Amino acid sequence: MAENPTIVSIDNLSKRFIMHKDKSLKERLVNFGRARQHRDDFWALRNVSLDIPTGETLGLVGHNGSGKSTLLKTIGGIIQPTSGSVQRRGRLAALLELGAGFHPDLTGRDNVYLNAAILGLTRKETDRYFDAIVDFSGIESFIDTQVKFYSSGMYVRLAFAVAVHVDPDLLLVDEVLAVGDEPFQRKCMAKIAEFQSEGRTIVLVSHSADQVGSLCDRVVVLHQGEITHDGDPAEGIRILREGYEADRKLSDKVAEGADARRPAYSITSVDATTREDAESISIILDYLIEIFEPQDEWGIGLSIENSLGLHIYSMTSFGLNATLPNTVGSHRVRITLPDVRLGAGSYVVNTGLGNQSGLNFDERPRAASFDVTGAGFGYGLIRISPDIAS
């Protein structure tokens, strides 16, 4: 099959927000000559270019205020760009806020028709989908009740049900996938997977790395309005995490200020090695720890994630009754995690030193990594050797 056609083409897009500090006529008149002082410029997007082919699920990630929602709204036509252009084709549905068009005084039925019309469905089409919508939302018995009496869960379920029945070619989703109770969330995810298999294009803004990792074929990382990564999801999530980490360190440093003392305990190095056999692997972590000022107690904490950032395991040494060295100088510590049945993939280890009351002496995110090669049968996060009998 030929290359998938482009459904959205973004060319050199920039968006500037001007923030006026004065809103009323009086204030504007009073400050007329000094209007420049009373406004702030803020570039939410800078020279963003992006092509989205049909059938792709694109994740937009970034810190708060990095411009991802602005980009989504620009694609949706809700915000006009300052410069550059967005071109688009096919039918669009934007899930920027569930139930944006719901009127609390109208019944669920009226609101379904209204909201469907807002999303671009004709009355005839809504008639056709109406039963499916109500069925999906699971609130048949309340459909003729005014929406203001709905619980918040019922409200979003009905709104989501309308949105996914609009038959869009391009679906814009902003942080609204995690709604309702667990069975309903599963239903939502199943619907998204169905959309993907039907070749619909989805652009997703999310803060959940798990969600982005499991749904998207491509991730765009935005930082202060610019694209810092475009492509592989795992790599994108890694870059995003590093960004968070860098920010946190920066703020830590600022907070510490001149008080940047030498830590009491410090990790010099961590090495991860694995020993594999047919059934399982053992993970061996070799620490080299420098102790400068022994304290009453200290311990080691660690967590393991897969490459998509999914948390797999975490532990601290406190409950283990292990005796750790506590004298000034360099010490070697080995932690062995035996009999781990992990599936194939690459994994990272985050680790740190601290005491039981929560004071951290040292932190080393992504301190070490290890790979597990494909042994065992089947695919997945864990390794299983199944047996079939009859």
Binding to other proteins by residue 69, rule CB under 8 A? no
Q: Does 190 bind other proteins (CB under 8 A)?
A: no
| Residue for token pair 């309308």 | 162
Instruction: Check binding of 74 to other proteins (CB under 8 A).
Output: yes
Which has the closest alpha carbon to 63: 224, 274, 265?
224
Q: Which of 141, 197, 357, 373 binds other proteins (CB under 8 A)?
A: 197
30 interacts with other proteins by CB under 8 A: no
Q: Which is nearer to other proteins, 195 or 318 (CB)?
A: 195
Q: Is 173 in the site for other proteins (CB under 8 A)?
A: no
β-pair partners for 337: 283
Cβ atoms of residues 54 and 195 within 8 Å: no
The span from the CA of 106 to the CA of 160, in Å, is 17
- Segment near other proteins (CB under 8 A), from 6-14, 203-211, 235-243, 314-322? 6-14
Max alpha carbon distance in the chain (Å)?
A: 89
| Nearest residue (CB) to other proteins, 220 versus 342 | 220
Q: Any contact of residue 79 with other proteins (CB under 8 A)?
A: yes
Interface residue with other proteins, options 37, 64, 80, 357 (CB under 8 A): 80
Binder among 62, 67, 76, 376 for other proteins (CB under 8 A): 76
Q: Of 57 and 350, which CB lies nearer to other proteins in the complex structure?
A: 57
Q: How far is Cα of residue 215 from the mean position of the Cα atoms in its chain?
A: 10
Give the sign of the dihedral formed by CA 103, CA 104, CA 110, CA 112.
positive
**Residue 157 lies near other proteins (rule: CB under 8 A):** no
Does 390 engage in binding with other proteins (CB under 8 A)?
no
Of positions 40, 105, 140, 279, contacts other proteins by CB under 8 A: 105
Which of the ranges 107-115, 180-188, 230-238, 287-295 carries the binding residues for other proteins, by CB under 8 A? 107-115
Q: Which long-range contacts (CB under 8 A, 24 or more apart) does 16-19 make?
A: 16/41, 16/42, 16/43, 16/44, 16/82, 17/41, 17/42, 17/43, 17/44, 18/42
Distance CA 79, CA 57 (A): 22
**Of 197, 191, 196, residue with least CA distance to 179:** 191
The single residue among 46, 68, 157, 200 that binds other proteins, judged by CB under 8 A, is: 200
| Closest CB 83 distance from other proteins, rounded Å | 12
**Cβ atoms of residues 42 and 19 within 8 Å:** yes
Quote the CA–CA distance of 225 and 82 in Å, as a whole number: 13
Distance separating alpha carbons of residues 365 and 262, to the nearest angstrom: 19
Least gap, CB of 86 to other proteins (angstroms): 4
22 binds other proteins (CB under 8 A): no
Contacts (CB under 8 A) with other proteins, residues 254-283: none
Which one among 12, 83, 122, 251 touches other proteins, defined by CB under 8 A?
Answer: 122
85 near other proteins, judged by CB under 8 A: yes
State the residues that interact with other proteins by CB under 8 A.
Answer: 1, 4-7, 9, 17, 23-26, 28, 54-55, 73-81, 85-90, 92, 94, 96-97, 100-101, 103, 105-106, 110, 113-114, 117-119, 122-123, 146, 169, 197-200
